[in-house]
């Protein structure tokens, strides 16, 4: 039984690692190709800020899912309030959801924001990037400070408003189900409890 748990953990780690690699590859290539076509530095900075914001947003969701209380959402699900069933599903898969949000999406966004920051510096300074270490270092520090500071503020918000955040995400997922016509969150994931 212990060996089954160990192999399942390794399989989960490999799946997340492989998924992260291909996600980073796809998003990285897409953002770099998009950045290469943007002539405006303002739009380049806007793309950088957007990616940092996505990383902060997913970090908030990951922390909220780990901290939220399932009981209030059960009460909403019992009343068939839109999004409550999806929110319960998120909480019952909190480890996977939190790992995806904070580790996969968060790390991909951190890596991409660094790469885009470097591309912006390269565009600003041309081929003389190595001659102006101060500016490239300041850009790296600014990107890191924005991302880390935003995540720190986001964590406090996620811990104090965890139930509200998870329910809000549940409502977004419910809307996605309605638009696509797919029932993405049918199974609650645990026997003996119904959402």
pLDDT, tens digit, 9 for 90 and up, residues 25-77 = 776 677 667 666 766 778 888 888 998 999 999 999 999 999 998 888 888 88
Q: Is 75 in a helix, a strand, or coil?
A: helix
> Residue 6 is part of which domain span?
2-180
CA dihedral over 195, 86, 58, 64, signed as positive or negative: negative
What pLDDT, on the 0 to 100 scale, is given for residue 127?
57
Q: Is residue 159 part of a domain?
A: yes
Calpha distance 165→40 (Å, rounded): 35
> Sorting pLDDT into bands at 50, 70 and 90, what band is 4?
low
SS3 117: helix
Domain total of the chain: 1
| Inside any domain, residue 194 | no
> From the centroid of its chain, how far is CA 119?
23
Look-up of token digits 């189900």? 177
Torsion, CA 153, CA 12, CA 72, CA 81, rounded to 10: 100
Separation of first and last alpha carbons in the chain: 30
Is 192 among the domain residues?
no
**pLDDT tens-digit profile of 75-116?**
888 888 888 889 999 999 888 899 888 888 888 888 788 878
User: Helices (H), strands (E): how many in the chain?
Assistant: 8, 0
Residue 8 lies in a domain: yes
Q: Which of 48, 15, 192, 16 is nearest to 114 (CA)?
A: 48
Scored b (16 or more CB within 10 A) or e, 35-61 reads beeeeeeeebeebbeebbebbbbbbbb
Q: What is the pLDDT of residue 62?
A: 93
Q: Cα dihedral sign for 24, 28, 30, 31?
A: positive
Q: Would residue 185 count as lying in a domain?
A: no
Instruction: Answer whether residue 35 is part of any domain.
Output: yes
Question: Is 187 in contact with 102 (CB distance < 8 Å)?
Answer: no
**CA gap 90, 49 in Å, rounded:** 27
Any domain includes 60: yes
Asked whether residue 18 is assigned to any structural domain, the reply reads yes
pTM greater than 0.85 (yes/no): no
């Amino acid at each position: 039984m212990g060996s089954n748990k160990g192999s399942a953990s390794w399989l989960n780690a490999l799946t997340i690692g492989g998924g992260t690699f291909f996600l980073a590859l796809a998003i990285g290539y897409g953002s770099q190709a998009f950045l290469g076509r943007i002539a405006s530095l303002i739009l380049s900075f806007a793309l950088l800020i957007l990616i940092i914001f996505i990383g902060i947003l997913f970090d908030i969701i990951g922390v909220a899912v780990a901290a939220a209380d399932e009981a209030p959402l059960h009460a909403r699900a019992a009343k068939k309030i839109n999004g409550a069933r999806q929110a319960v599903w998120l909480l019952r898969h909190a480890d996977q959801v939190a790992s995806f949000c904070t580790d996969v999406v968060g790390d991909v966004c951190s890596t991409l924001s660094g790469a885009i920051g470097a591309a912006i510096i390269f565009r600003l300074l041309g081929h003389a990037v190595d001659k102006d270490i101060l500016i490239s270092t300041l850009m790296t520090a600014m990107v890191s400070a924005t991302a880390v500071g935003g995540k720190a503020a986001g964590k406090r918000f996620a811990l104090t408003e965890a139930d509200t955040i998870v329910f809000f995400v549940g409502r977004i997922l419910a809307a996605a189900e309605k638009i696509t016509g797919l029932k993405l969150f049918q199974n609650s994931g645990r026997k003996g409890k119904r959402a």
